[in-house]
Amino acid sequence: MKRYGMTRRLILSLTATLIAFWLIAVTAGVLVMQDEFGEIFDSSLKETAERLTPLVVDDILQSKTTTVPRRLQNLTASPESSYLTYQVRDAEGGVILHSEDIPPTPFAAPLKRGFWENDASRFYTVQAVNDTIFVQVADDNAHREEAAIEGGLALLLPLLVLIPVGIFVVWLVVRLSLRPVNELREAIASKDGGNLAPIASIALPRELQPIVHSVNRLLARLRSTLAAEREFTANSAHELRTPLAGALAQTQLLKKHVRSEEAKSRTVHIEQSLQELSGLVEKLMQLARAEAGLGSADEVVDLAKVLDVVVGDFQRASIAPDRINYVRDAGAKLKRRINEDIFAIALRNLIENALHHGNQNEPVLVHLERGGKIRIANGSPILGKEEIVRIQKRFSRGETSRGSGLGLAIVIALAAQMNATLNLLSPATGRSDGFEAVLTFNGDREEVG
């Protein structure tokens, strides 16, 4: 079932309510107006009959007696008279005089003073000359209905303007009223592992204060939980370093003294396991540091020099004496307010991943481009999109490595702190195979060259 937004529902409901109230007001206005029009028309009808009576009586008394009804022109020139017709009748009901625009057929109204009405007209009768002459004036009911309809339409016409104007006003009011809700939504959406600060509730309406308080309590619990988790990770890793180093040293010493090949083989396996465990502890310490939010620095640091040092360390190490191909574009600079140790940790993890996962007989390219972009590419089969997504998760290892599975997770966390973006590509740029990690720094040109 399709659900509409709050803004649309409010606009539709408020506009419909406004139109409904307007129609009710128009209906009530038409009823009142019809009653008032009836009083006005009755007053005009009575006034016309009373003014007409002395004129027709005088005319009858001065004229010769005849049995044929005579036609007379309208005796008044008022606008209302064009809708009125009259007859002068004798005591027996015969028509003596009548309007020129009606036949001599007697009206249906009785010869009795006052108002009388049927489906077609409303009548008013006046008696004269000792009840021997009756003047009857008729007003067509269609005229009255026409006036009521015109009045009702006059009240309905503003509705054509009211509807669009009302929709706009309601939309504007709803938008302004919901602005604090949108601000609160954006404030909540901005919260992540690196930003769990409480939401300020000073400028928010009273109705939203309970939500803000609930969210802030939840953020406080998250801060406490994450802090405890990071502290546990850091403390555990730190406490394990010393005994692991001692165990590794004792194992290496033991390997020199054992004589049998079986014992030496077991000692080598123990040494490899301890080295892997030491590497995992080191990665856990790096992860704890990455999640501590220490990526920024107060001063601008020349990160290109840090990159030179990191690459030089790998080139001198026995793990990759000749595999790293370091390319630095002419004039390429990388200066940012970034902690140099954090930057070095990120680069070491990316280069280690390339060395461990890449084809051992192919070089690893480390390329610093102008504009603050670092490319690290290695030879490998093409990875699918699902595989690229999977290896970014914690403790997710590639098929060609027995590593900790934390390297890319650490780099992703550090990249967010350094205002950088990590993109993983396969195949590598300019190749039909391979894997490439692109670290792009989104900084000012004054800092990134």
Let me know whether 340 and 377 are in one domain: yes
Residue 395 Rama label (left phi>0; alpha psi -120 to 50; beta)? left
What pLDDT is recorded for position 445? 43
* Residue 56 domain-assigned (yes or no): yes
Beta bridge partners of 302: 335
Residue with tokens 């040293």: 249
| Same domain, residue pair 256 and 319 | no
Amino acid 238: pLDDT: 65
Q: Is the domain of 318 the same as that of 259?
A: no
**Please, which residues have CB within 8 angstroms of residue 359's CB and are 6 or more apart in sequence?**
378, 379, 380
Shared-domain flag, residues 437 and 302:
yes
Q: Packing angle between helix 340-357 and helix 261-290, nearest 10 degrees?
A: 140
Is 71 in contact with 63 (CB distance < 8 Å)?
no
Length of the chain: 449
Domain boundary among 119, 147, 175: 147
384 with 421, same domain: the answer is yes
> Does 331 lie in the same domain as 398?
yes
Q: What is the pLDDT of residues 179-222, one digit of tens each?
A: 888 888 888 887 766 677 888 876 778 888 888 888 889 888 88
Distance of CA 278 to the CA centre of its chain: 49
Neighbouring residues of 31: CB distance < 8 A, sequence distance ≥ 6: none
Instruction: Single out the residue of 367, 368, 384 nearest to residue 424, CA to CA.
Output: 384
Report how far apart the first and last C-alpha atoms of the chain are (Å, whole number).
Answer: 53
Beta bridge partners of 192: 195
CA distances to 49, 382, 432 from 428, in Å: 105, 9, 7
- Angle formed at CA 203 by CA 200 and CA 204, multiple of 5 degrees: 85
Quick one: 420 and 322 in the same domain?
A: yes
Same domain for 220 and 135: no
What whole-number distance in Å separates Cα of residue 112 and Cα of residue 434?
113
Which tokens sit at 90?
């004798």
Q: What are residue 116's DSSP bridge partners?
A: 123
170 in any annotated domain: no
Mean pLDDT by 10 residues, the chain (449 residues): 72 84 84 84 88 84 62 51 79 85 84 89 89 88 83 80 82 84 84 75 79 88 76 67 75 77 79 72 64 63 88 76 84 84 86 85 89 88 82 61 65 82 87 89 57
Task: Say yes or no: 410 and 340 in one domain.
Answer: yes
Query: Which structure tokens are listed for 404?
Result: 């900790």
Q: Is 156 contained in some domain? A: no
The two three-digit tokens of residue 263, written as one number = 């014992």
Task: Name the residue among 364, 394, 373, 370 with its Cα closest to residue 288.
Answer: 394
Q: What 8-state DSSP symbol labels residue 152?
A: H
Question: Does residue 227 form part of some domain?
Answer: yes
Q: Is the pTM of this model over 0.75?
A: no
Instruction: Examine the domain organization and report whether 11 and 81 are in the same domain.
Output: yes
Let me know if residue 241 belongs to a domain.
yes
165 part of a folded domain: no
Which domain, by its residues, includes 362? 294-441
pLDDT of residue 273: 76
- Which residue(s) pair with 378 in the sheet? 435
Residue with tokens 């990526």: 295
Single out the residue in 228, 259, 287 at which a domain terminates: 287
pLDDT at residue 446, rounded to an integer = 46
- CATH code at position 308: 3.30.565.10
Which of 147, 168, 191 lies at the terminal end of a domain, its last residue?
147
Residue 200 is assigned to a structural domain of this protein:
no
Are 372 and 449 within 8 A, CB to CB? yes
Q: How far is CA 357 from CA 54, 252, 381, 407, in A?
A: 121, 27, 10, 12
Question: Can you tell me the distance from the alpha carbon of 204 to that of 213, in angstroms, rounded to the nearest whole number?
Answer: 12
Distance of CA 433 to the CA centre of its chain: 42
Task: Tell me the C-alpha distance between 50 and 92, whole Å.
Answer: 21
Q: Strand 133-140 vs strand 335-338: parallel, antiparallel, or unpaired?
A: unpaired
Contact 427/433 with Cβ under 8 angstroms? yes
Q: 349 phi and psi, to 5 degrees?
A: -65, -40
Q: Are 334 and 303 in contact (CB under 8 A)?
A: yes
User: CA dist 340 to 298, 309, 327, 332, Å?
Assistant: 11, 11, 20, 18
How far apart CA 15 and CA 138 sit, in angstroms, is 45
Q: Which residues are within 8 A (CB) of 438 and not within 5 positions of it... i.e. 6 or more apart?
A: 373, 374, 375, 376, 422, 423, 424, 425, 429
State the residue for tokens 């490439």.
Answer: 436
Q: Is residue 242 part of a domain?
A: yes
**DSSP labels for 149-207?**
HHHHHHHHHHHHHHHHHHHHHHHHHHHHHHHHHHHHHHHHHT-BTTB-PPPP-SSS-GG
Amino acid 77: pLDDT: 47
d(CA 133, CA 57): 8
Number of domains, the chain:
3
Same domain, 269 and 344: no
**Do 324 and 261 sit in the same domain of this protein?**
no
Q: How far apart are CA 75 and CA 99, in angstroms?
A: 9
Phi and psi torsions of 60, nearest 5°: -70, -40
